[in-house]
Amino acid sequence: MSSKVLGMGGSTVGIIEPTARDGGMGFIAKATRHLFFTGKGGVGKTSLSTAAALMLADAGRKVLLVSTDAASNLDEMLGIVLRNTPVPGAPGLSVLNIDPDSAAESYRQRVLAQMGSGASAQELSTVREQLSGACTTEIASFDEFAALLADGAKPWDHIVFDTAPTGHTLRLLSLPKAWVGFLGGNDRGASCLGPHSGLQMQEERFKAALDALADPARTTVVLVTRPERGAIAEAARTSVELRALGLSNQRLAINGVFHASDRSDAVACAIEDLGQQALDALPASLRELPQDRVPLRAFDTVGLTALRALLVPDAAPPFLRTDQQPTQNHPLPGLAALADELAAAGHGLIMVMGKGGVGKTTIAAALAIGLVQRGQTVHLSTTDPAAHLAGTLVGDLPGLKVSRIDPKVETQRYIDKIMAAKSPLLDAQEQALLLEDLQSPCTEEVAVFHAFSRIVSEGRSAFVVLDTAPTGHSMLLMDATGAYHRQMTREFEGRGPAHVVTPLMRLQDGAYTKIILVTLPEVTPVSQAAALQDDLRRARIEPYAWVLNKSVLAAGTHDPLLQARLAGERRQIERMSAGLAQRLYALPWLAVPPIGLGELSKLVSQPEIHAVADAAE
């Protein structure tokens, strides 16, 4: 399997009774063989899934922890380098990162091998090119995912899945049903993937994976949320969509529940009250689910000690640095200053990127409003399958066009376009075969790329602000952009002076495209933003600026738990200021959520300078 795997230990199968050791967490006490942790980006899926896997392993189980997120940070979470060795200090626990690039290459090699020794070099080259896009990456990763669900002989008592943010996970969990349906009606051995006899051979595996997902005795979905309205609303939508896919065994885990220790602390009280209001408004569909609550911790959940403490109320916390005090103010400009700089270009593409849950939609919407305020025409759109810009804007603004790249709508539009272009040249049987091929789940990835390319080109005459999907999904879209660029370059090679401008070339043009990386002042979001920046630079795309969202340093609080967390925030600001970010802007934590045109306008209307403190040496 083209993945990184760490060692395992031994155990027996059985139910773990709720105890103080597991904090009474139902998703531990009633753990089925497959545990999926899913939810909006930034709610703590990786922390909870890793802590759960570790706790099950500590109870003597053989546990495989799997990341289906292309932007996984399991290695940093566990505090180790992922190698083919046991996890130090965690006997019984193994970790697998499904590496999309490695999975895709392994899949390509299997398909090419099936062509036999009689295939010519030209035929092999053609098929390899057919298998070079993001669609192949997706199906290859899915193939490994399906194998874990379908192969009952694997020696694991539990397989814990740390999933990508909601939109990508819903896509992944829908694929078993989609591919079973497609393969059941397609016996011709060719599709948008080129020869897919390999997929035909895996049809039984896909069916077994579908059965495993739908079996409540084998699979549990843990919907992870925070006590925030947006995260809860997404959990409710996800619950409904998963039920439609047949995944009915669900639990709700509310992470980061905070209680102020001193009601005279206005900041601490505001944080607690906002959380309680969100929980009081919990939708009926979520109230019906078994529920676990995990309190907000004073420490970053990095390393085995911290992860073991996360789910155990009375566990001794990991060592915390308490000697860091602010020594001098390090002023950071606000979003208004960033909007001023962006508006000066007059037109172009602004892509807001980052880990799920860091506030990309808020930042993108605020910058779009700021550009309109400065006399610009703006198209605000999103590539995130789970994004709902309308719920953030709550209103219309002259000069601002708002859209969403809806995968289903774009897929049908693409199918209609291809059928209209090719049908006149085909007879009825050939038209039926073409339409059948276009029903492949891969068509969605191609259609979304074409819609993305269309919107990117609008930056030639106006501003386009793109709220992108969380990091992993966005990088798959970048892969498709790169594959298209390579294809166009080959096709026009040697054709004289004809000049082709591909979407990738526009992204690489710093005068045309400004990449804004959004992060939170926490170790995992900052590390993932840094990794994303490295990936972009390898594609010769240079980020323009970083935005630090939800900074609590300037708010002023004496709550002991929040004070402990602020020490970590100072360290992350120091990391970014020391060279990670060419330009760094800050948005403070806000007592009033920035929802609606009025609140969003405030973020870009005044040239605020947010004073955040450097950490002491």
**Residues near 91 by beta carbon (within 8 Å), at least 6 away in sequence:** 9, 57
- Give the other-Cβ count within 10 Å of 119's Cβ: 15
pLDDT at 7: 42
Q: Who contacts 430 (Cβ-Cβ below 8 Å, separation ≥6)?
A: none
Distances (CA, A) of 348 to 376, 384, 464: 11, 20, 6
Determine contact, residues 223/238, Cβ cutoff 8 Å. Answer: yes
φ, ψ for residue 198 (rounded to 5)?
A: -60, -40
In 375-418, DSSP assigns E strands to: 378-382, 400-402
User: Cα 599 to chain center, whole Å?
Assistant: 26
pLDDT at 601: 92
The pair of three-digit structure tokens given for residue 603, joined into one six-digit string = 């973020």
Best CA proximity match to 548, nearest among 359, 371, 384, 365: 359
Q: How confident is the model at residue 614, as a pLDDT?
A: 41
CB 431 within 8 A of CB 419: yes
Q: Measured on CA atoms in the order 544, 504, 526, 407, is the torsion positive or negative? A: positive
Q: How far is CA 81 from CA 50, 87, 303, in A?
A: 15, 9, 12
List Cβ neighbours of 328 (8 Å cut-off, separation of 6 or more).
613, 614
Q: Please, where are the H alpha helices in 318-403? A: 335-343, 360-373, 389-393
> Which parts of the chain have pLDDT scores under 70?
1-24, 69-73, 79-86, 99-100, 115-116, 127, 129-142, 151-153, 164-203, 314-330, 385-388, 441-442, 470-501, 554-555, 606-617
pLDDT recorded at residue 18? 41
CA–CA gap between residue 453 and residue 411 (Å, rounded): 14
Q: How many residues does the chain have?
A: 617
Residue 321: what pLDDT? 46
Helix ranges (H only) for 11-93 are 26-29, 45-58, 74-78
Domains and CATH numbers, the chain: 26-79+131-310 (3.40.50.300), 329-613 (3.40.50.300)
What's the pLDDT at 316? Answer: 55
Is 488:502 a contact under the CB 8 Å cutoff?
A: yes
- Would you please indicate which residues are annotated as catalytic (active-site) residues? 42, 44-47, 69, 524
Tell me, what amino acid is at 97?
N
